[in-house]
Amino acid sequence: MSTKKLWGGRFTGATDPLMDQFNESIHFDRRMFKADIMGSQAYVKALCKRHILTADEARTLDQGLSAVQAEWEAGTFTIKAGDEDIHTANERRLGELVGSVAGKLHTGRSRNDQVATDMRLWLRDAARELVELTRDLVRSTVERAEAEMDVLMPGYTHLQRAQPIRWSHFLLSYAWNWQQDTQRLEQLIERFNVLPLGAGALAGNPFEVDREFLARELGFRDVIPNSLVAVGDRDFVSEFLFWCSLTMMHVSRIAEDLITYSSSEFGYVSLADAYSTGSSLMPQKKNPDSLELLRGKSGRVFGSLSGFLMTVKGLPSTYNKDLQEDKEPMFDAYDTLHGCLQILTRVIATLKINPDRMRQSLSPDMLATDLAEYLVRKGVPFRETHHISGAAVRMAEERQVPLSSLTVADLQTLHTSFADDVSAVWDYERSIDNRSSIGGTSRKTVEAQIAALQKWLA
């Protein structure tokens, strides 16, 4: 094989070595070697079908491509000067192994449709791995929720204690987020699993290669019906980066909750030593570094999305070299999610909870809404009962006593419907199990959520 650049036929002057370095992408797109070879092997078959390759030539190329892949997998592939990208490197090595017949492989094909195909093949496998990791996270969270059903804790709005809930209900709120994240990624895989190969540089393939055959060979559900879109579209990268950002937002939010709950001021949870670190100065410290890193890495992923959108927003149609900037954010976001999902799964599986501390944080004022609802059941309109309950809260505050310490006589000064049965209001389990409509925090509804997620996981 010639050492000339694939695109160098019309050039006579030498390229600045700095430009060569600036232009190359092999140092990061080499991880697509398997996808690149898979696409090339399918293309060999398509060329053979069009009698551009003989059966013997096709066999030689297929075996040569398998040998190149084996070198990558064994770690023996040597990148040489002039290997701009994974496509150039593979074709150069193929020529060294099988000779001049390697030059027929690129017939009718451009690196434009080749790279678009490689990226979709690579991302399809990568995204399927993330689907499984996200499902593992849901599974671990559901198992914990089922095992700790009886643990009660304050629920918060505005980070102020609001109403009592089950710890399981809190965990499941994130399990549902991650279930939706999983579904979104599965839908995204279905959407981007369409074939660019056969679009040429931009105008189509002049040798009538069977693109539907290529799609079947490579496991795509269909072909991209417009060659300009095939080479220039990177919406699937944007969507993937958005998916990563949204999923990391959910990761970051539970990390923030658990960081707060693990502080001495709360003391609801304690991270396993395996996912904590100490201070270089203060021996007593146990820092939730795993959670802080999860929270911090969300910003990294958000940055990949915003940066890539800025790259593509002003591009003219079809392929432009700017699109070489599509792979590093995609790879980095994948790597980040791949690590974060596993760490969070293990953090949730191993953290210890302090049920007594959670219960001690419940206070009668959190049942003020229940006091209003007591009067609703007596036939008083809720807008009235809300004000009456608020007056009771103010009375307790002025007397500096818990809300539950107000006597029936005290409450009757606010409304005559109060009776001795009002004492039943001051029961946290009863309050929680009153929230029994679908999605509520009662035992029945939490069990239903667990059953639904378990069915989905199965």
For residue range 365-383, what is the model confidence (pLDDT) as tens digits? 999 999 999 999 999 999 9
Predicted confidence (pLDDT) at residue 241 exceeds the cutoff of 60: yes
Residues 6+ apart with CB under 8 A from 347: 258, 271, 272, 275, 290, 291
**Between 277 and 431, residue with greater pLDDT:** 431
pLDDT tens, residue by residue, 38-96:
999 999 999 999 999 999 999 999 999 999 999 999 999 999 999 999 999 999 999 99
Q: What is the DSSP letter of 16?
A: P
Locate tokens 């946290």: which residue?
428
Query: With bands split at pLDDT 50, 70 and 90, how would you rate the model's confidence at 7?
Result: very low
Predicted confidence (pLDDT) at residue 2 exceeds the cutoff of 50: no
pLDDT for res 36: 98
Query: With bands split at pLDDT 50, 70 and 90, how would you rate the model's confidence at 420?
Result: very high
Straight-line distance from the first to the last Cα atom of the chain, in angstroms, rounded to the nearest whole number: 52
Q: What is the DSSP letter of 202?
A: T
C-alpha dihedral sign at 289, 291, 297, 299:
negative
Nearest to 119 by CA among 210, 38, 198, 21: 38
Question: What percentage of the chain exceeds 90 in pLDDT?
Answer: 91
Predicted confidence (pLDDT) at residue 186 exceeds the cutoff of 90: yes
Return the minimum-mean-pLDDT range out of 7-11, 310-314, 436-440: 7-11
Q: Are 455 and 448 in contact (CB under 8 A)?
A: no
Using DSSP, state whether 139 is helix, strand or coil. helix
Q: CB-hemisphere CA count at 13 Å for 141?
A: 29
Residue type, 272: A
Cα 446 to Cα 172, 181, 254, 418, 433, distances in angstroms: 8, 21, 19, 31, 10
Nearest to 353 by CA among 150, 142, 137, 136: 150
Burial of residue 101, with CB atoms counted within 10 A of its CB: 0-12 exposed, 13-18 middle, 19 or more buried: middle
Q: Are 272 and 350 in contact (CB under 8 A)?
A: yes
pLDDT for res 1: 41
pLDDT for res 12: 58
Q: What is the mean pLDDT of the chain?
A: 95
Question: Is 8-107 assigned to CATH 1.10.275.10?
Answer: yes
- Angle of helix 327-350 relative to helix 235-262, nearest 10 degrees? 30
Where are the domains positioned within the chain?
A: 8-107, 112-199+225-360, 364-426
Cα 101 to Cα 71, 388, 407, 413, distances in angstroms: 20, 89, 96, 98
pTM over the 0.85 mark: yes
Query: With bands split at pLDDT 50, 70 and 90, how would you rate the model's confidence at 22?
Result: confident
Residues in the chain: 458
Q: Which fold has domain 112-199+225-360?
A: Fumarase C; Chain A, domain 2 (1.20.200)
CA distance 424 to 408: 12
Locate tokens 């590093």: which residue?
328
Q: What is the DSSP letter of 287?
A: B
User: What CATH number belongs to 364-426?
Assistant: 1.10.40.30
Using DSSP, state whether 154 is helix, strand or coil. strand
C-alpha dihedral sign at 353, 140, 149, 425:
positive
Residue type, 278: G
Query: Could you please report the per-residue DSSP string of 55-120?
Result: HHHHHHHHHHHHHHHHHHHHT-----TT--SHHHHHHHHHHHHH-GGGGGTTTT--HHHHHHHHHH
Locate tokens 């639904």: which residue?
452
| Residues designated as active site | 158, 279
CA distance 302 to 347: 23
- What the block records as the tokens of 406 is 């107000």
Return the minimum-mean-pLDDT range out of 11-15, 115-119, 138-142, 454-458: 11-15
pLDDT for res 148: 98
pLDDT tens, residue by residue, 260-284:
999 999 999 999 999 987 666 666 6
